[in-house]
Amino acid sequence: MSFLGCSAIKHGQYSILNKEYTKEEYFKLRDKLIEHMKQTGEYGEFFPSEMSNFGYNETMAQEYFPLTKKEAIKKGFKWWDKIQKTTGKETLKPEEIPESINDVSDNILNEILACVECGRNYKIVKNELNFYKKHFIPIPHKCFYCRNSERLKLENPFKLWHRQCMCEKTNHTHDTRCKVKFETSYAPERPETVYCESCYNKEVY
């Protein structure tokens, strides 16, 4: 089966942009399209940003690679000054939400909450409430977007440092400190102990 520019095809073959061709037609048209895209510099590249229906500042790209409005527009991205969100419609104030999940009833599913960080309104859905109750987690006072931003800040940066294994255990096939060097997203000044794969496996297993 061969495809070019297709999406979500489950049954079919020799398709271009989700349209099926004969084997001969497919390869003839495919080669023609690829040659054209190579000439225009499009081949092998992702879809151009102007095809996106979203502003850069409302996508995950802004979380991982933050840009100012000026920088984003200069790079050819869209930018929305008014991101769609609702505020001021809350029916339950943060201080009115029970601190213990054991004191929360299903009535909260009908309430509109307000984020204490950005003011955005949000709701609790049934499966979410079930999860909180199962794991004894209090109802969040922040919206999904603010909670997600906080989680992303806990991730290691998109950068690698050259480090040496910190293992000094003599039962790990080395008499002194392990001499294996590797790249890791844990910076040298961080407090975590960093092992090479071999020493880590010996320690864990």
**163 vs 193: CA distance, rounded Å:** 11
Strand intervals (E) in 65-180: 113-114, 121-122, 161-164
Which of 136, 153, 170 is the endpoint of a domain?
153
Q: Is residue 171 assigned to a domain?
A: yes
Number of domains in the chain: 4
Q: Is residue 121 assigned to a domain?
A: yes
Average pLDDT over residues 137-144: 96
- Checking if the pLDDT of 147 tops 80, the result is yes
Q: Is residue 89 assigned to a domain?
A: no
**33 vs 44: CA distance, rounded Å:** 12
Instruction: Give pLDDT, residue 7.
Output: 85
Q: Is residue 88 assigned to a domain?
A: no
Average pLDDT over residues 132-144: 97
Percent of all residues in the chain with a pLDDT value above 90, rounded to a whole number: 73
Q: Is residue 63 assigned to a domain?
A: yes
Looking at every residue in the chain, the average pLDDT score rounds to: 93
Instruction: Give pLDDT, residue 84.
Output: 83
**63 vs 130: CA distance, rounded Å:** 29
Instruction: Give pLDDT, residue 75.
Output: 92
Q: Is residue 126 assigned to a domain?
A: yes
Instruction: Give pLDDT, residue 52.
Output: 86
pLDDT tens digits, residue range 164-200? Answer: 999 998 888 888 899 999 999 999 999 999 999 999 9
**3-state class of 144 per DSSP?**
helix
Whether residues 36 and 52 fall in one domain: no
Rounded to a whole number of angstroms, the distance between the first and last alpha carbons of the chain is 43
Instruction: Give pLDDT, residue 184.
Output: 96
Query: Which amino acid, 3?
Result: F
pLDDT tens digits, residue range 5-37? Answer: 888 888 888 999 999 999 999 999 999 999 999
Instruction: Give pLDDT, residue 90.
Output: 97
Q: Is residue 11 assigned to a domain?
A: yes
- Checking if the pLDDT of 1 tops 80, the result is no
pLDDT tens digits, residue range 50-70? Answer: 888 899 998 989 988 999 999
Whether residues 100 and 145 fall in one domain: yes
The domain in which residue 31 lies consists of 3-40
Q: Is residue 87 assigned to a domain?
A: no
